[in-house]
Amino acid sequence: MALKYLHTMVRVKDLEASMAFYELLGLQQTRRSDNEKGRFSLIFMAPPGQEECPVELTYNWDGDDGLPSDSRHFGHLAYRVENIYETCQKLMDAGVTINRPPRDGHMAFVRSPDNISIELLQEGDSLPPQEPWASMENTGHW
């Protein structure tokens, strides 16, 4: 099972202040995605020359009542996988709960034994939806 580290996500309450803080640390914006439908922005920031190790700042346009509680800041670790279905099956066979199944052939979430949320993303294009994943409901939260 080949893995590649993608990013660490943190939720932010004040996007400008957070970006200024990470810039002060020496990180630079490497990409940005504003999602009108979901009403959120994703800003990826990394040290110069280390664009492969970004922090993803997730900003919800309508606010986040959970912030600034420490439990809401850290979001998840993310890894790209060669085959999301095979990876999820291997994890499930080992007793890991698939909190957000890869119904779309692209994304799944699981939790570590320490309750750290892990995002798994399909390398390249999404795989065609297939069972049992396409019909599987979410379990818990991620």
Give kind and range of the element (H or E) at residue 10: strand 3-12
Distances (CA, A) of 108 to 19, 70, 85: 28, 24, 9
- Concatenating the DSSP letter of every residue in 36-62 gives TTTTEEEEEEE-TT-TTSPEEEEEETT
CA gap 85, 107 in Å, rounded: 10
In this structure, are residues 134 and 127 in contact, taking their beta carbons and an 8 Å threshold? no
Active site residues: 119
Distance (Å, rounded) from C-alpha 99 to C-alpha 122?
Answer: 16
